[in-house]
Amino acid sequence: MKLLLGVTGSVAAKLTPKLVAAIRANDPGVELVVIATERGRYFFKRVEVDAEFKTDKDEWPEGGYLKGAPVPHIDLGEWADKLLIAPLTADTLSDMANGKADKFLTSTVLAWPREKPIVIAPAMNTRMWTNPLTRRNLQTVKEVYRIRVVKPINGNLACGTTGIGAMAKIDTIVAALAAR
């Protein structure tokens, strides 16, 4: 399988190295590329992730646009079999629902071939997860893409509260990724 993993700016992004290791353990032959948002990169060290790694700088390299150069947000959508976004923040979900494409990851999502699956593992504060706007955004992306939602779970959240919003367990995400 060729997998594109999107990592957004939730505290759950600190689990990215463990998630990548679990994906590799489940499918040793997986070809894996990680696109991390700038906020996602804040929570882990690049050297801890055993995968090809992309950031906004790969989409918009210094020196400017060159005619005929690769277009990474298109090329990766053609290359990958599946897209996993874990963790998925309320902000990135909103961008997806509204067609915003100002980051490498959101550009890739907007250009994603709609016949290919996307697995999302939301992670956010309970009030954000239960907000009607989040519900609307989730419904919108389900209408556009082949989305499998790995729902957040009840847990201790970074804000110091306990509630629904913690990213699902890694083994649950890996199982959802492997499902057809």
pLDDT tens digit sequence for 40-54: 999 999 999 999 999
Coil, strand or helix: which one is 155?
A: strand
Structure token pair of residue 140 = 């919108």
Q: Which residues are catalytic?
A: 159
pLDDT band with cut points at 50, 70 and 90 for residue 111: very high
In this predicted structure, the answer to whether residue 148 has a pLDDT above a threshold of 90 is: yes
Widest CA span in the chain: 51
CB-neighbour burial class of residue 93 (10 A; exposed 0-12, middle 13-18, buried 19+): buried
Provide the residue range defining the domain that includes 25.
2-178
Q: What is the pLDDT of residues 7-60, one digit of tens each?
A: 999 999 999 999 999 999 999 999 999 999 999 999 999 999 999 999 998 888
Rounded CA separation 92/94 (Å): 5
* CATH code for position 122: 3.40.50.1950
Number of domains forming the structure of the chain: 1
